[in-house]
Amino acid sequence: MADIFDVIADGTRRDILQLLRERRDDARGTSVSQIVTELGVSQPTVSKHLKVLREAELVSVREEGQHR
């Protein structure tokens, strides 16, 4: 597992965490496409950063059909 400080040192990952924190009360969760739209970064970039955040156990993923 990566050092937590290395994980959160990246600005995009901090932005993702902040966005998820702000939306945590939404029972539907937040999809990757919503993060892409909100932050204005590409889907592969968001997916890459979410993988790092998942491996550090800072976020979890729920699959619903085609959505995560």
pTM of the model: 0.84
Q: How many distinct helices (H) and strands (E) make up the chain? A: 4, 0
pLDDT (tens digit per residue) in 6-16: 999 999 999 99
pLDDT at 68 over 70: no
Write down how long the chain is: 68
Collapsed DSSP state (helix, strand, coil) of residue 64:
strand
pLDDT (tens digit per residue) in 45-61: 999 999 999 999 999 88
Residues 6 or more apart from 31 whose CB is under 8 A from it?
A: 67, 68
